[in-house]
Amino acid sequence: MWESNFAEGSDKSEEQVSGAEVIAQALKTQDVAYMFGIVGIPVTEIAVAAQKLGIRYVGMRNEQAACYAASAIGYLTGRPGVCLVVSGPGLIHALGGMANANMNCWPLIVIGGSSERSQETMGAFQEFPQVEACRLYTKFSARPSSIETIPSVIEKAVRSSIYGRPGPCYVDIPADFVNLQVNVNSVKYMECCMPPPVSMAETSAVYMAASVIRNAKRPLLIIGKGAAYARAEEALRKLVEQCKLPFLPTPMGKGVIPDNHPYCVSAARSRALQFADVIVLFGARLNWILHFGLPPRYQPDVKFIQVDICAEELGNNVKPAVALLGDTNAVTKQLLEQFDKTPWQYPLESSWWQTLREKMKSNEAATKELASQKSLPMNYYTVFYHVQEQLPRDCFVVSEGANTMDIGRTVIQNYLPRHRLDAGTFGTMGIGLGFAIAAAIVAKDRNPRQRVICVEGDSAFGFSGMEVETICRYNLPIVLLVVNNNGIYQGFDADSWKEMLKFGDATAVAPPVCLLPDSHYEQVMTAFGGKGYFVQTPEELQKSLKQSLADTTKPSLLNIMIEPQATRKAQDFHWLTRSNM
């Protein structure tokens, strides 16, 4: 433990420090680098104190977006970002971000101001049981008993957020703590918590897993965002290439191994899942995204090998053939050791590889045919085909929206780990601009020329569209693509909309999925000084995207009009196959 640094020779016995300064110093000591929030009574001074110590503060327009941004920082950097919110409604708005971080297993610290202690139970301004409310969504939720205990509570919150399975933590700060002064000598700061301990699977289980893989007739590796968070990309790529195994990334597992790798079978996803006899899950859960591991999406007798940091996750929905409890990167290296001792490769000339290649070829041909259609308005595939052609290989891709996100991830490729962010396990709409802002802040620190491409459905954009002002205020390197079909899932063109309104008020006759046709979302960007483009043709898309990527001085928004009734190509299975248990 250590004390605050003050000028040598000063008389510390009389010096005072405020609660806000103690909070800021405690966060700085725990190597917290980024803070997002909306200031107001009683937390404004905390943001000011944090900035004075070099913590980057990003002021957002909505607490949900601020919380989404702070959680994305945790995923991208491995160290939690902070979401700073005011009491009552401010904290309640942040609960959405906390729930999303909890479901996605991302580290996050939320600091919420709360009512003064002397006014508890009296009906104080924005009084709310905040610590209790946050317990459902967090690994740790607490209120320091005094200013002197703030550093220990914050250290525990940071440590809890990154140890074991990562997740959000909440620290409640009474309003009277913020400006209350205490003697500087009475505050002891905790040393920065150590990096998370690395756990490894039992040797016998690793040996058994390697044996099951060797005996597989139709093996498949599934790479989840847990593998991305664990920084397992080097070990996994070596395993895939050494053993010549087909792999399938989950949406945010894309890029752990590049999507254009010859052993990536994303284009044959349904076929790979349905007929594999041995599936190894690296940091991926058998939830709805992977159809629970159950028939008809899988063979009834498929053998699962689960690799996960969380013991409670092992055995969910299916009984694994082998359970490997530990850090995904460390366990992958353990598997590699087994294949180094006794080299083995899955034959590329096998019927399984042939089946997968044929399906990939036919699906890619179908996608290419859809993308090449010349009719206007454009469809999703045409848009994403032209976007993919121009995207920098090192860009971050953020995506949300129903068809926009689902179709986009099949066409837009990722080449680097932790460079794709989307609605994730919780299927959260509204994450797009918050995630993009977090990625852009990280990008500016690492490589000022790195771009963030945020691909939004028009409905999804509506959840957090005012964060465009945040993007312009901080001049972030973000290109927003709003794929506009005038609705949720599907909409109507302007003529059909007018014709429909002849039969009554919109509240009575307009289908609930409809949005106002031909809305000019690009004007939201130009209103704040960025560049906006209204795009209706492939040529306009190519030109405006090229200009947006070339101009690193201003953010851009492309409002891309597509066929309101456009949808995806026919699927072997509906994307959300229900459990048939």
pLDDT tens track for 370-401: 999 999 999 999 999 999 999 999 999 999 99
In angstroms, the CA 166 to CA 80 distance is 9
Same domain, yes or no, for 317 and 389? no
pLDDT recorded at residue 244: 98
User: In this structure, how many other beta carbons lie within 10 angstroms of the beta carbon of residue 446?
Assistant: 11
Same domain, yes or no, for 152 and 233? no
Residue 468 phi/psi, 5° resolution? -60, -35
pLDDT recorded at residue 567: 79
Q: Give the structural domain span for 145.
A: 16-186
Give residues with Cβ within 8 angstroms of 225, minimum separation 6: 75, 104, 250, 251, 252, 253, 283, 284, 424
In a domain, 125, yes or no: yes
Same domain, yes or no, for 61 and 178? yes
Rounded alpha-carbon distances, angstroms, from residue 345 to 158, 211, 342, 400: 42, 12, 10, 38
Per the DSSP assignment, residues forming a β-bridge with 422 are: 399
Same domain, yes or no, for 400 and 537? yes
In angstroms, the CA 200 to CA 91 distance is 38
pLDDT recorded at residue 12: 60
pLDDT recorded at residue 120: 85
pLDDT recorded at residue 572: 55
In a domain, 20, yes or no: yes
In a domain, 157, yes or no: yes
Pull the structure tokens for residue 271.
């076929």
Same domain, yes or no, for 130 and 178? yes
**Backbone torsion region of residue 78, taken as left when φ is above 0, otherwise alpha when ψ lies between -120 and 50, otherwise beta:** left
Same domain, yes or no, for 346 and 476? no
Per-residue pLDDT of the chain (581 residues; tens, 9 = 90+): 344 444 444 556 679 999 999 999 999 999 999 999 999 999 999 999 999 999 999 999 999 999 999 999 999 999 999 999 999 999 999 999 999 999 999 999 999 999 998 888 888 888 999 999 999 999 999 999 999 999 999 999 999 999 999 999 999 999 999 999 999 999 999 999 999 999 999 999 999 999 999 999 999 999 999 999 999 999 999 999 999 999 999 999 999 999 999 999 999 999 999 999 999 999 999 999 999 999 999 999 999 999 999 999 999 999 999 999 999 999 999 999 999 999 999 999 999 999 999 999 999 999 999 999 999 999 999 999 999 999 999 999 999 998 999 999 999 999 999 999 999 999 999 999 999 999 999 998 888 889 999 999 999 999 999 999 999 999 999 999 999 999 999 999 999 999 999 999 999 999 999 999 999 999 999 999 999 999 999 999 999 999 999 998 999 999 999 999 987 765 555 545 443 33
In a domain, 472, yes or no: yes
Same domain, yes or no, for 350 and 390? no
In a domain, 3, yes or no: no
Positions of E strands within 24-106: 34-37, 56-59, 81-85
Same domain, yes or no, for 383 and 339? no
In angstroms, the CA 81 to CA 434 distance is 12
User: In this structure, how many other beta carbons lie within 10 angstroms of the beta carbon of residue 99?
Assistant: 17
Same domain, yes or no, for 223 and 347? yes
Domain end call among 328, 356, 384? 356
CA atoms within 13 A on the CB side of 497: 20
Same domain, yes or no, for 175 and 209? no
Domain count, the chain: 3
pLDDT recorded at residue 121: 87
In a domain, 567, yes or no: no
In a domain, 483, yes or no: yes
The CATH number that applies at residue 25 is 3.40.50.970
Cβ atoms of 396 and 452 within 8 Å: the answer is yes
pLDDT recorded at residue 516: 96
pLDDT recorded at residue 122: 82
pLDDT recorded at residue 163: 98
Same domain, yes or no, for 541 and 436? yes
The whole model's pTM is what? 0.95
In angstroms, the CA 87 to CA 109 distance is 15
Domain end call among 321, 356, 391? 356
C-alpha angle 548-550-553 in degrees, rounded to nearest 5: 80
Same domain, yes or no, for 217 and 129? no
In a domain, 198, yes or no: no
Supply the DSSP string of 130-178, one letter for each residue: HHHHHHTT-SEEE--SSGGGHHHHHHHHHHHHHSSS--EEEEEEEHHHH
Domain end call among 356, 385, 419? 356
The CATH number that applies at residue 287 is 3.40.50.1220
